[in-house]
């Protein structure tokens, strides 16, 4: 699994279920790309089905922590691997004429 901005911590491994990503305030959304090891698996990002090796729709970010749930359902339709990614969008360092810099 990859994210469009920032770096997953720790590095993605199927045995790890929780991740953290730090992004700057300028990043207002991210996408996730997951690759299923089984072509019949169903990948969902924020409960929206996404094709394997295809970017998800943009996940909007507020300042602070944003939790995104990624679920992969196996061919049997019962076995589900769930990954929680907390994306922390940094606050503005200061404002200049009503703009975040």
Rounded distance between C-alpha atoms, residue 58 and residue 7, angstroms:
17
31 to 44, 61, 98, 99: CA distances (angstroms): 12, 11, 28, 25
Digit-coded pLDDT (tens) for 47-83: 999 999 999 999 999 999 999 999 999 999 999 999 9
Do the beta carbons of residue 60 and residue 41 sit within 8 Å?
no
CATH topology for 2-100 is Immunoglobulin-like (2.60.40)
Residue ranges per structural domain of the chain: 2-100
What span, in angstroms and rounded, lies between the C-alpha atoms of 33 and 97? 37
- The number of beta carbons lying within 10 Å of the beta carbon of residue 40 is 11
Q: DSSP 3-state assignment of 77?
A: coil
pLDDT, tens only, 3-56: 999 999 999 999 999 999 999 999 999 999 999 989 999 999 999 999 999 999
The pLDDT of residue 72: 96
């Amino acid at each position: 699994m990859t994210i469009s901005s920032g770096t997953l911590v720790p590095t993605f491994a199927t045995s790890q279920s929780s991740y953290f990503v730090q992004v700057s305030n300028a990043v207002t959304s991210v996408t996730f790309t997951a690759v299923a090891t089984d072509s019949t698996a169903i990948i969902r990002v924020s409960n929206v089905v996404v094709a394997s090796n295809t970017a998800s729709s943009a996940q909007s970010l507020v300042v602070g922590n944003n939790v995104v749930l990624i679920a992969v359902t196996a061919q049997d339709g019962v076995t589900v691997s769930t990954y929680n990614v907390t994306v922390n969008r940094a606050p503005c360092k200061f404002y200049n004429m009503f703009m975040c810099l």
